[in-house]
Amino acid sequence: MTRIALSTGVALEVQEFGSGPPVVLVPGGAMTHRVWDHQVAALQRRYRTLAVDLRGSGGSDKPPTGYSVDLFAADLAALIEALGLERPVVAGHGLGSHVALRLAATRPGLVAGLALASAAPWFVGERRDAAGGFPDDLWERMQGGAARNRAQADLDLIDEAFFHGELSEGMRLWSLGMAAEWPLAVFVQLAETLHDLDHRDALATIDVPVLLLHGRHDEKTRYDGAEYLLAHLPHARLVTLEGSAHCPHLEEPGAFTEALHGFLDEVTAAARAGLATAGAPR
């Protein structure tokens, strides 16, 4: 593990394995870099994998204030620049997919592609367009439960919304351990910004390949949101994980990683072809 000091004023914890084209892996809320363990183990043979803890979580800095998707995206851009990564693919899950979308929209040309797991065009509630994003009733129950008994609220969310199939006790405890690495104070500040988070106006500007990976049974970030993104992102495709809910990378790691690996191979091959074309004599 390495801590990288950034121009945004924080240091992020980064776990790095492998070599080759860079892939930056961004966890969701209540999760840390460890959530990408299966993917890193497989991808390290061909890719330089960098799994990140967002500010306020895991081993990264936890400043007293300053938590929003915009700041997370600024941190990610600063990390890419600090490490000299040349147009990495950014993979995000849940909250991390919102960070990846914001990064691609605000820093065009910085990334070569996006892989978005359990993504949505906005974060919370209903819109006229679709029932994407976090259901209002679940959001309110989660906020109220966390205020009364944060540990039980985390466990309830894991049991009710993260997984579709039978949940092993090991995975349950592992997920709870990651959630505990997010202070409640960070969640409270972040939650105040999420109701207004909406990517719809920027989707048409995201001019890179996008792989959407979504569990068919996701009731936390609903499947309709993935279909909306598929229709409104210029270069998107959707892979549906039929046996998963909100965490397909944990629930169906083999199928998820296979789809992600294929997408990375395509994006990096296209990038190499583009460089070769650009360098060819005219």
- Torsions phi, psi for 25 (to 5 deg): -110, 120
**For the residues 97-108, what does the mean pLDDT come to?**
98
pLDDT, position 274: 66
Q: With bands split at pLDDT 50, 70 and 90, how would you rate the model's confidence at 145?
A: confident
- Torsions phi, psi for 182 (to 5 deg): -115, 110
Angle at 115 between CA 113 and CA 120, to 5 degrees: 115
Average model confidence (pLDDT) across the chain: 94
Query: In angstroms, rounded to a whole number, what is the distance separating the alpha carbons of residues 85 and 198?
Result: 28
Of 62, 65, 20, 76, the closest CA to residue 44 belongs to 20
Q: Which tens digits make up the pLDDT trace of 221-230? A: 999 999 999 9
For the chain, the domain total comes to 1
**Residue written as token pair 């600090």:** 82
pLDDT at 149 exceeding the cut of 70: yes
Residue 252 identity: E
Structure-block tokens of residue 50: 């960098």
Q: Which tens digits make up the pLDDT trace of 159-194? A: 999 999 999 999 999 999 999 999 999 999 999 999
Residue 280 identity: A
Domain that holds residue 32: 2-279
Q: With bands split at pLDDT 50, 70 and 90, how would you rate the model's confidence at 275?
A: low
CATH number for the domain spanning 126: value is 3.40.50.1820
